[in-house]
A and B are shown apart, each in its own frame.
Chain A
Amino acid sequence: DAGVTQSPTHLIKTRGQQVTLRCSPKSGHDTVSWYQQALGQGPQFIFQYYEEEERQRGNFPDRFSGHQFPNYSSELNVNALLLGDSALYLCASSVDRVKEGYTFGSGTRLTVV
């Protein structure tokens, strides 16, 4: 049973560019959450998708947007990249009304130069 799959694993982008990160949730999960984790910090909640809708958002600017597809997979898009966007981006899936915790992917390491 595959867990959460994220792609790509590493990415280097230039300031001002746009990036799309992808996530396939664990089989049977319908909810996807995205997190940004800076070095030495805890994950920061970006947003959560359920039934193809963003149902809660953290304190991130509109440059961060996302999408959930009918098969529950999800994308995170970041426009106009800043150096400060360099971080590990984590995707986590769960069933709605999480009862057993989230399953995390291994993350995408984004470096903005």
Chain B
Amino acid sequence: SQQGEEDPQALSIQEGENATMNCSYKTSINNLQWYRQNSGRGLVHLILIRSNEREKHSGRLRVTLDTSKKSSSLLITASRAADTASYFCATVYTGGFKTIFGAGTRLFVKA
């Protein structure tokens, strides 16, 4: 079973709006990563946040991590049509090596 669960499963917004996606996980982690995937191709790494970090920024992306709630959120500000993609959170649990992905949030940004 997958550890990460993204919410919502799908999101449709207008260009210029902000998009927020949430991720929950079940066990203690080393780090949490967010990836983007366009049209069933390879995944692109967006951002990695370590378990001792609470917030991280990269361009229009903002990621938060709440280890007490075992949850993370990804905020994309001022969205563009090119942001249309599936977004996945992925966790590496403490003491392990495998990266566990959630089922993803499908984001559609309308121009």
Residues of A within 8 A of B (CB): 4, 33, 35, 37, 39-45, 48, 50, 55-56, 58, 88, 90, 92, 98-107
Name the distance in Å between B84's Cβ and chain A's nearest Cβ: 16
Name the distance in Å between B89's Cβ and chain A's nearest Cβ: 9
Question: Is A106 a contact of B42 with CB atoms below 8 Å?
Answer: yes
Name the distance in Å between B44's Cβ and chain A's nearest Cβ: 7
B-side interface mostly: strand
Question: Is A42 a contact of B4 with CB atoms below 8 Å?
Answer: yes
The 0/1 profile, CB within 8 Å of A marked 1, for residues 30-47 of chain B is 010101000011111111
How many pairs of A and B residues are in contact by the CB < 8 Å rule? 66
Give the segment of B12-20, B64-72, B75-83, B92-100 that binds chain A: B92-100
Question: Is A58 a contact of B41 with CB atoms below 8 Å?
Answer: no
Name the distance in Å between B15's Cβ and chain A's nearest Cβ: 25
Q: A100-B45, A101-B33 are in contact. Are A48 and B40 (CB under 8 A)?
A: no
Question: Is B48 a contact of A99 with CB atoms below 8 Å?
Answer: yes
Question: Is A107 a contact of B42 with CB atoms below 8 Å?
Answer: yes
Question: Is B99 a contact of A42 with CB atoms below 8 Å?
Answer: no
Closest 4 CB pairs of A and B: A101-B45, A42-B101, A104-B42, A56-B97
Question: Is A41 a contact of B42 with CB atoms below 8 Å?
Answer: no
Question: Is A102 a contact of B103 with CB atoms below 8 Å?
Answer: no
Q: A100-B45, A107-B42 are in contact. Are A41 and B103 (CB under 8 A)?
A: yes
Q: A42-B4, A42-B88, A98-B92 are in contact. Are A105 and B99 (CB under 8 A)?
A: no
14 contacts between A and B (CB under 8 A): A33-B99, A42-B4, A42-B103, A48-B97, A50-B97, A56-B98, A88-B40, A100-B48, A101-B46, A101-B48, A102-B43, A103-B45, A104-B35, A104-B44
